C-alpha cells in the first residue's frame, strides 16, 4: 500500500487532513504538523526516500534548502503545484540545475472570469 505523508505548518489544516483521511478510510495517510522544508530535510538526512513528491509551496515559492533536500531524496517524480508562475520558473531552474527535467505542464485558471 502506498504510504502518503501530508505536511502542513497550519494546525487547522492538519486537523482537517486527519479528519478527511479518517472519513475516507485512508489508513495509509500520515499527517504531520511541521514546516515542510524542515520535515523534508530531516527525511533526506535520515536517507528516507519517496516515489513521488507533490509540493504546493506558498506564492513565494520554495527555498533552495528545500529544493536541495528534494534532490537528496531523489524521488523519480516531483509534482509541483504553483499559483505563481514567476516563483515556479525560478524553482524549476534550481531543480534543473540539480538534475531534474521538466516534462510537462498543465495550466489551470484558478480565477476564471476575473482580471487575474
In three state form, how does the secondary structure of the chain look? CCCEEEEECCHHHHHHHHHHHHHCCCCCEEEEECCHHHHHHHHHHCCCCCCEEEECCCCCCCCHHHHHHHHHHCCCEEEECCCCHHHHHHHHHHHHHCCCCCCCCCCCCCCCCCCC
User: Which residue among 33, 50, 71, 83 is the active-site one?
Assistant: 83
Query: Could you tell me which residues come within 8 angstroms of residue 59 by beta carbon, excluding any fewer than 6 positions away?
Result: 83, 84, 87
| Whether residue 71 lies in the annotated active site | no
Which residues belong to the active site? 83
Amino acid at each position: 500500500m502506498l504510504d502518503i505523508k501530508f505536511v502542513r505548518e497550519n494546525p487547522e489544516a492538519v486537523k482537517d487532513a486527519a479528519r478527511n483521511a479518517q472519513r475516507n478510510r485512508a489508513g495509509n495517510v500520515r499527517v504531520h504538523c511541521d514546516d515542510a522544508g524542515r520535515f523534508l530535510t530531516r527525511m533526506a538526512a535520515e536517507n528516507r526516500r519517496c516515489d513521488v513528491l507533490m509540493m504546493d509551496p506558498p506564492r513565494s515559492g520554495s527555498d533552495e534548502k528545500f529544493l536541495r533536500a528534494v534532490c537528496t531524496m531523489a524521488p523519480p517524480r516531483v509534482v509541483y503545484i504553483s499559483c505563481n508562475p514567476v516563483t515556479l520558473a525560478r524553482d524549476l531552474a534550481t531543480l534543473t540545475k540539480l538534475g531534474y527535467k521538466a516534462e510537462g505542464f498543465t495550466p489551470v485558471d484558478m480565477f476564471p472570469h476575473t482580471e487575474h
